[in-house]
């Protein structure tokens, strides 16, 4: 079994001819990674030392990781981190259930530790207090937990914050006044539109009625009008001859003597 290494892992890829150590770290939204090759650092062991040094530098430089330790989860109903209510059932007795409060944590060797305190034995209140004391001090021995409880050790319980309700919206007089003004303006605009539509319809109807009357008047005026005789236009030569004749007749009339009066 390959040994577990923190912060870096071994890479041996024959296809890409890559042999070395891959260093990776994550702190919140910060991600860092670096490949340390065996060929550039003089072998497998020397490159591993360089990988350890790089990882330690990053750990000292970056902030501590944000873990779920000592934080209340969504499913926590007791109000204490690491203490939960449990129901256990024995397979030999299907109708028999064991109710208890359980204190749980992870020790230095990354092992999960669980210690139960029966409600039927200690009572609901005392079992909960014992589980809280056990979790706070991370004690594996029940006798020490009972001694602390008898000595009057305090239990810190974190209450979940109730979700804040949204405050009702306050209706101000200015807003109501502006709303009323906008409503009245909209109504007046609508009334103007309706009146303009009615007036346009009335004008159209009057125009339609006046058009046939005007046409009838025109026809009667045309019928009653007298037809003027058409004058024929004479050619220029004939006009000259006619003017000469008129002039000759005028001369003759002028030369004729007046008739003598009878005595």
pLDDT of residue 36 exceeding 80: yes
Q: What is the DSSP string of 153-186?
A: -----PPPPPPPPPPPPP--HHHHHHHHHHHHHH
pLDDT band at 101; cut points 50, 70, 90: very high
Within 71-182, strands assigned E span 83-89, 97-106, 112-118
pLDDT band at 186; cut points 50, 70, 90: confident
* pLDDT for the residue 217: 63
Please indicate whether residue 183 or residue 257 has the higher confidence score (pLDDT). Answer: 183
Terminal C-alpha separation, the chain: 182
Q: How far is CA 242 from the centre of its chain?
A: 103
Q: How far is CA 18 from the centre of its chain?
A: 47
Phi-psi region of 44 (alpha: psi -120 to 50; beta: other; left: phi over 0): alpha
The mean predicted confidence, pLDDT, of the chain is: 77
pLDDT of residue 209 exceeding 50: yes
pLDDT band at 97; cut points 50, 70, 90: confident
pTM for the model stands at 0.41
Please indicate whether residue 127 or residue 236 has the higher confidence score (pLDDT). Answer: 127
């Amino acid at each position: 079994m390959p040994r577990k290494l923190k912060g870096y892992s071994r890479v041996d890829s024959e296809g890409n001819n890559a042999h070395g150590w891959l260093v990776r770290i994550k702190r919140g939204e910060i991600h860092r990674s670096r490949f340390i090759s065996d060929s550039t650092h003089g072998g497998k062991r020397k490159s591993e030392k360089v990988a350890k040094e790089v990882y330690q530098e990053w750990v000292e430089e970056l902030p501590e990781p944000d873990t779920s330790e000592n934080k209340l989860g969504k499913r926590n109903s007791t109000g204490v981190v690491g203490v939960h209510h449990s129901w256990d059932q024995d397979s030999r007795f299907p109708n028999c259930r064991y109710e208890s409060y359980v204190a749980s944590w992870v020790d230095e060797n990354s092992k999960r530790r669980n210690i139960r305190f029966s409600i039927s034995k200690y009572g609901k209140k005392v079992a909960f207090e014992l589980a809280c004391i056990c979790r706070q001090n991370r004690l594996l021995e029940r006798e020490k937990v009972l001694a602390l409880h008898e000595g009057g050790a305090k239990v810190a319980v974190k209450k979940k914050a109730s979700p804040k309700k949204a405050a009702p919206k306050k209706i101000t007089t200015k807003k109501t006044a502006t709303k009323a003004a906008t409503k009245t303006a909209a109504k007046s605009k609508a009334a103007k539109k309706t009146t303009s539509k009615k007036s346009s319809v009335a004008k159209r109807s009057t125009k339609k009625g006046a058009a046939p009357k005007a046409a009838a008047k025109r026809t009667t005026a045309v019928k009653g009008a007298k037809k003027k005789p058409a004058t024929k236009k004479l050619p220029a030569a004939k006009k000259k001859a006619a003017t000469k004749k008129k002039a000759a007749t005028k001369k003759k009339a002028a030369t004729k003597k007046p008739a003598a009066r009878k005595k």
